[in-house]
Amino acid sequence: MYRLLVITHLTLHESLRKRVLLAALIGGAAFLVLYAVGFHFVARDLNRSPHTTLLERRVALTMFTLAGLFAANTLGVMAAVLLPVDALSGEIASGAIQTLAAKPIRRSEIVLGKWLAHALVVMGYVSLLIGGVLLAARLFAHYSPPHLQQGLPLMLMESVLLVSVSIAGGARLSTVTNGMVAFGLYGLAFIGNWVEQIGAFADNVAARNVGTIASLIMPAEVLWQRAAWSMQPTIMRQLQATPFSPASVASEAMVVWAAAYAAMALLLAVRGFGRRGL
Amino acid sequence: MSDAVVEATGLRKRYGGTLAVADLSLSVRRGEVFGFLGPNGAGKTTSLKMLLGLVRPSGGRGKVLGAALGQRRARERLGFLPEHFRFQDWLTGRELLHFHGRLFGIARRELESRTEQLLARLDLLDAAGRRLGTYSKGMLQRVGLAQALINRPELVFLDEPTSGLDPLGRLLVRDVVKDLREAGTAVFINSHLLGEVEATCDRVAFIKKGRTVHEMALATASDDVSVEVSLGRADRETLSALATLGQGANALQRLHGDGGSRDADEARRSEAIEPAVAGCRERFRLRVAGEEAFPAVARLLVERGVALYEMRLARKSLEALFLEVMGEDQRPG
pLDDT at B319 over 90: no
Residue in A with minimal Cα distance to B150? A103
Closest CA relative to residue B136, chosen from B169, B183, B180? B169
Using a pLDDT cut of 90, give the percent of chain B over it: 56
Chain B residues close to A105, C-beta within 8 Å: 72, 103
- Of A2, A14, A106, Cβ closest to residue B105: A2
Give the pLDDT band of residue B315 (cuts 50, 70, 90). Answer: confident
pLDDT digits (tens, 9 = 90+) for B116-135: 999 999 999 999 999 999 99
Q: How many CB atoms lie within 10 A of CB B5?
A: 24
Using a pLDDT cut of 70, give the percent of chain A over it: 99
Q: Mutate which of B12, B102, B141, B151 to disrupt the A interface (most A C-beta within 10 Å)?
A: B102
Give the pLDDT band of residue B270 (cuts 50, 70, 90). Answer: very low
Give the pLDDT band of residue B267 (cuts 50, 70, 90). Answer: very low
Chain A residues close to B49, C-beta within 8 Å: 98, 277-278
Rounded to a whole number of angstroms, the distance from the CA of B65 to the nearest CA of chain A is 13
DSSP state of B11: E
Say if residues B166 and B173 touch (Cβ distance below 8 Å).
no
pLDDT at A245 over 80: no
Stronger pLDDT, B129 or B326, i.e. the higher one: B129
Cα(B177)–Cα(B31) distance, integer angstroms: 11
Torsion angle defined by CA atoms of residues A149, A155, A156 and A159, in that order, rounded to the nearest 10 degrees:
170
Long-range contacts of A239-245 (CB under 8 A, 24+ apart): A241/A59, A241/A63, A242/A59, A242/A62, A242/A63, A242/A66, A243/A63, A244/A63, A244/A66, A244/A67, A244/A70
Residue A202 pLDDT: 83
pLDDT digits (tens, 9 = 90+) for A37-73: 999 998 888 888 888 888 888 888 988 999 999 999 9
Contact B76 A104 (CB under 8 A): yes
Chain B residues close to A21, C-beta within 8 Å: none
Give the pLDDT band of residue A78 (cuts 50, 70, 90). Answer: very high
Instruction: Give CA angle at A183 (A133, A173), nearest 5°.
Output: 135
Cα(B155)–Cα(B151) distance, integer angstroms: 10
Give the pLDDT band of residue B330 (cuts 50, 70, 90). Answer: low
Give the bridge partners for B92, in sequence order.
Answer: B131
What's the pTM? 0.83
Stronger pLDDT, B290 or A84, i.e. the higher one: A84
- Of A96, A98, A103, Cβ closest to residue B103: A103
Contact A106 B72 (CB under 8 A): yes
pLDDT at A213 over 50: yes
- Of B73, B86, B157, Cβ closest to residue A96: B86
Residue B223 pLDDT: 59
Give the pLDDT band of residue A171 (cuts 50, 70, 90). Answer: very high
Q: Which stretch of A116-130, B185-199, B210-224 has the lowest confidence by average pLDDT?
A: B210-224
Contact A6 B99 (CB under 8 A): yes
pLDDT at B276 over 50: no
Top-ranked range on mean pLDDT: pick from A228-232, B111-115, B242-246: B111-115
pLDDT at B273 over 60: no
- What does the pLDDT average to over B69-91? 90
Residue A199 pLDDT: 85
pLDDT digits (tens, 9 = 90+) for B182-201: 999 999 999 888 888 888 99
- What does the pLDDT average to over B281-305? 89
Residue B279 pLDDT: 55
Closest CA relative to residue B246, chosen from B230, B225, B270, B232? B225
Give the bridge partners for B68, in sequence order.
Answer: B63
Give the pLDDT band of residue A1 (cuts 50, 70, 90). Answer: confident
Mean pLDDT of chain B: 87
Mean pLDDT of chain A: 91
Long-range contacts of A100-103 (CB under 8 A, 24+ apart): A100/A7, A100/B103, A101/A278, A101/B53, A101/B54, A102/B52, A102/B53, A102/B54, A102/B75, A102/B78, A102/B80, A102/B157, A103/A3, A103/B75, A103/B100, A103/B103, A103/B104
Residue ranges of chain A whose CB lies within 8 Å of a chain B CB: 2-3, 6, 10, 13-14, 17, 91, 94-96, 98-106, 275, 277-278
Residue B268 in 3-state DSSP? helix
Residue B2 pLDDT: 67
- Of B54, B56, B90, Cβ closest to residue A101: B54
Which strands, in side-by-side order, build the sheet including B225-231?
Answer: B261-263, B252-255, B282-287, B225-231, B308-315
Residue in A with minimal Cα distance to B15? A277
Residue in B with minimal Cα distance to A100? B100
Instruction: Give CA angle at B84 (B83, B90), nearest 5°.
Output: 140
Rounded to a whole number of angstroms, the distance from the CA of A4 to the nearest CA of chain B is 9
Interface predicted TM-score (ipTM): 0.80
- Of A101, A103, A275, Cβ closest to residue B100: A103
pLDDT digits (tens, 9 = 90+) for A259-273: 999 999 999 999 999
Chain B residues close to A102, C-beta within 8 Å: 52-54, 75, 78, 80, 157
A142 sits in the region (left: phi over 0; alpha: psi -120 to 50; else beta) called left
Q: How many CB atoms lie within 10 A of CB B52?
A: 23
- What does the pLDDT average to over B46-71? 94
Cα(B244)–Cα(A211) distance, integer angstroms: 94
Residue B145 pLDDT: 94
- Of A3, A95, A277, Cβ closest to residue B103: A3
Residue A56 pLDDT: 83
Give the pLDDT band of residue B314 (cuts 50, 70, 90). Answer: confident
Rounded to a whole number of angstroms, the distance from the CA of B62 to the nearest CA of chain A is 16
Contact B80 A99 (CB under 8 A): yes
Q: What is the DSSP string of chain A?
A: -HHHHHHHHHHHHHHHH-HHHHHHHHHHHHHHHHHHHHHHHHHHHHHH-TT--HHHHHHHHHHHHHHHHHHHHHHHHHHHHHTTTTTTHHHHHHSHHHHHHTSS--HHHHHHHHHHHHHHHHHHHHHHHHHHHHHHHHHHH----S-HHHHHHHHHHHHHHHHHHHHHHHHHS-HHHHHHHHHHHHHHHHHHHHHHHHHHHTT-HHHHHHHHHHHHH-TTHHHHHHHHHHTS-HHHHHHT-STTS-SSPPPHHHHHHHHHHHHHHHHHHHHHHHHS--
Say if residues B23 and B211 touch (Cβ distance below 8 Å).
yes
- Of B75, B82, B103, Cβ closest to residue A6: B103
Rounded to a whole number of angstroms, the distance from the CA of B29 to the nearest CA of chain A is 21
pLDDT at B311 over 60: yes
Residue ranges of chain B whose CB lies within 8 Å of a chain A CB: 49, 52-56, 72-73, 75-76, 78, 80-82, 84-88, 90, 99-100, 102-105, 144, 147, 157
- What does the pLDDT average to over B137-157? 94
Q: Which stretch of A109-118, A206-215, B68-77 has the lowest confidence by average pLDDT?
A: A206-215
Give the pLDDT band of residue A169 (cuts 50, 70, 90). Answer: very high
